[in-house]
Amino acid sequence: MFLTRRLRPVDSLIGAHGLSSFCLGLALPYTAIYLADQPGVGTGGVALFYASSGIANLVVALLLSTGILKLGRVPLGVLGTLLWLAGYLGVSAIGSHLSAVASAIGVGAGQGCIMAAIIPLINVLITPEERRQVFARRYAVLNATLALGSLVSGLLTVVLPRSVIPYFFVVNAVGVLPLTVAIIAVRRHLPAPTKEEQESEAAPLPLLGLWKVMLPVALFQLAASLFAFSQFDATAPLITTGLMDMPLFMVSLMLFLVVTVIVFCQRPMTRRLEEKPEMTGLHIAVALWVAGYVVAGLFAFAPFGLRMAGLLVYVVLFGLGECAYSCSFHPWLISVVPDSELTRANALVNSMMGVGKFAGPSVGIGLALSGNATVVWLGLAASCTVVTVLTRLLMNRRGTAAPAVSEQLQ
């Protein structure tokens, strides 16, 4: 029975995605360093690469959400993996700004297609009762494999020369092929569309109607990306080393700790939230993020030991917030729209994540210009709180809780 359960189609899909995430972890820490060292690329090329990747991701999301690009879940996922393959093979040979843009478009567009397809694919392979557990497990697997890949590449660069770095990009490119196979393989397990679903696909929800329904979800995702995820990735390292006078190893320690929290606390958090509404889990996530910011802000000018303790508490609270988010957000998204609209809705949400990741570092850097770490941490806490309250008010005003949404779509 255990073996059968492990071999479920959804588990093979998550496992293949986890392998791809491990391979991404090999390359991710060294992408900017490698590109900056390439003749004809430099620092300007690095900025161009990331900007082009983000724009390509956003364009794909907008094409899908508007219905201009119409692809089924399986073809969309396969297309995404092939674009990713081409993009990262190109990264290993980048030698000019033009080639950097071309590779970035493949990477960004590939990621946009994969992320738009994978959530609907997972959802159709599981029952509604499994959503919280499965999406939480997916989140934990992706985080753990990404961190493990980063650790392995870090160890390899200690014992091998710098010339090994381009091979990380090749491995990352090839590592997506098992996900291609897994996406194709689950096709035969997809249920045949019902008559109602066929009619819904024939007459999709107008773009304005989709936006009205999805606005609270998109706004929450934008807020989470702007004031939580991008801040941990970009602002926290900057503030930690620049304004709080912490040693460089603290950045690695924070990443290691947050992944550890997610891996070990995801299942207990999911169990505690399983019987509660999805919005309760998301409110808890934001409350934990805000609490972490407040703790870091209050200890920002304490003695060294207390500053470090405050940062570690922030990381633990942030990781717990991610646990609450991961088992709540996508089930909430899925409950808001019919299955036939899920790919478009997910693409719309991904576009908000792309905007947040692109603009988020600017928010943190803007606050950091104050030169005061407490201002940064408490500013982020206030921003998180305000946007979440606005999202809740918007939900109440529009009546976009799951039961009300089904009425709007009829």
- For 350-388, write each residue's pLDDT tens digit: 878 877 777 777 788 788 888 899 999 999 999 888 877
- 312 CB neighbour count, 10 Å cutoff: 17
- For 237-285, write each residue's pLDDT tens digit: 888 888 899 887 787 788 888 888 998 999 999 999 988 999 899 999 9
| Three-state SS at 279 | helix
Among 165, 167, 131, which residue's Cα sits nearest to residue 327? 131
State the Cα–Cα distance between residues 9 and 69, nearest whole angstrom: 27
> Does residue 387 contact residue 254 with C-beta atoms inside 8 Å?
no
- The amino acid at residue 133 is Q
What pLDDT shows up at residue 205? 66
| Three-state SS at 273 | helix
Q: At what angle do helices 73-91 and 177-185 cross, to 10 degrees?
A: 170
- For 146-202, write each residue's pLDDT tens digit: 888 888 888 888 888 888 889 999 999 999 999 999 999 998 877 765 555 544 454
Average pLDDT over residues 20-38: 86
- The amino acid at residue 409 is L
Q: Kindly tell me the burial class for residue 401, based on how many C-beta atoms sit within 10 Å of its own C-beta (0-12, 13-18, 19 or more).
A: middle
State the Cα–Cα distance between residues 111 and 357, nearest whole angstrom: 14
| pTM listed for this prediction | 0.79
Q: Which two tokens stand for residue 389?
A: 């309250």
Window from 252-261, 287-296, 305-314 with minimum mean pLDDT = 252-261
DSSP string across 138-164: HHHHHHHHHHHHHHHHHHHHHHS-GGG
Torsion, Cα of 103, 104, 105, 109 (10° steps): 120
With tokens 């995820």, the residue in question is 229
